[in-house]
Copies of this chain bind each other. A is one copy, B any other.
Amino acid sequence: MHMKEPQRTTQDILEIMLSKDNFSRWLGLEVDACRDGYCRLHYRIRDDMLNGFGIVHGGILFSAADSAFAFACNAQGHITVALDVSISFALPAASGDELWVEAQQIHAGNKISLYDIRTTNAGGQLMCVFKGTAYRTSRLIQ
């Protein structure tokens, strides 16, 4: 007899992903909302995230946006990977700054989807904009 697998919710999938995502935990990401095609999260810049000029390393801004991208595009349960990202930096951030990341799907094809992801500071200023292309595989998240 074939036992039907219990239906997983978006929340279940997010928890599975987050529980294994060591680097997102290191970043201190706090997910505020997540559903298929959408994610909003926030985090705080720490001293160990700074570069040689005493401002946030560009890789931190990229990484938090990339995690939001992953959470939004995996929420439907199939393993989905980033193919390409273009990021433009607008303003620097300093230690202690709280940043907000919002990922929105702007196109959903059969295999390929596009996301627009913006990071803003507490004053609502744009820190960086991230445009990402994702490829959905046929494998399920487990």
Binding site for B on A (CB under 8 A): 16-24, 26-27, 47-54, 57-60, 62-64, 66-67, 70, 74, 79, 81-91, 106-107, 109, 111-112, 114, 116, 118, 126, 129, 131, 133, 135
Chain B residues within 8 Å of A20, by CB: 50-54
Most B Cβ at <10 Å: residue of A63, A84, A89: A84
Knowing A59-B59, A66-B62, A126-B107 touch, does A24 contact B52 (C-beta < 8 A)?
yes
Is there an interface contact between B112 and A83, defined as CB atoms closer than 8 Å?
yes
Q: How far, in angstroms, from A89 to B134 measured CA to CA in the complex?
A: 11
Selected contact of A23 from candidates B51, B74, B84, B87, CB within 8 Å: B51
Is there an interface contact between B89 and A59, defined as CB atoms closer than 8 Å?
no
Most B Cβ at <10 Å: residue of A23, A24, A27, A81: A23
Q: How far, in angstroms, from A128 to B52 measured CA to CA in the complex?
A: 24
Selected contact of A88 from candidates B58, B66, B131, CB within 8 Å: B131
